[in-house]
Amino acid sequence: MFEDLWVAVGLILVLEGILYALAPNAMRRMLDTVLRQPEQTIRMTGLAVALAGLVVVVVARA
């Protein structure tokens, strides 16, 4: 199980790194947009993304 967790963390880092390497200006604009959002919007978006990720994991493991 912990091996799967490390693989998932590694894949997240690879995907995020690719985004920053291929489109640094777009990532900078996106981060600026996020910083302008109210805290509650960021919190709810984070929760929604986490739940979506959980659904993906559960479906993939089924």
Domain span including residue 14:
2-61
User: How confident is the model at residue 1, as a pLDDT?
Assistant: 76
Count of all residues that appear for the chain in the document:
62
The pLDDT tens digits for 6-60 are 999 999 999 999 999 999 999 999 999 999 999 999 999 999 999 999 999 899 9
Token digits for 35?
């910083």
Give me the phi and psi of 38, to 5 degrees please.
-65, 150
DSSP 1: -
Best CA proximity match to 60, nearest among 4, 3, 19:
4
pLDDT: which is higher, 1 or 37: 37
Number of domains forming the structure of the chain: 1
What confidence tens digit (pLDDT) does each residue in 39-54 have?
999 999 999 999 999 9
Q: Is the dihedral of CA 31, 58, 8, 11 positive or negative?
A: negative
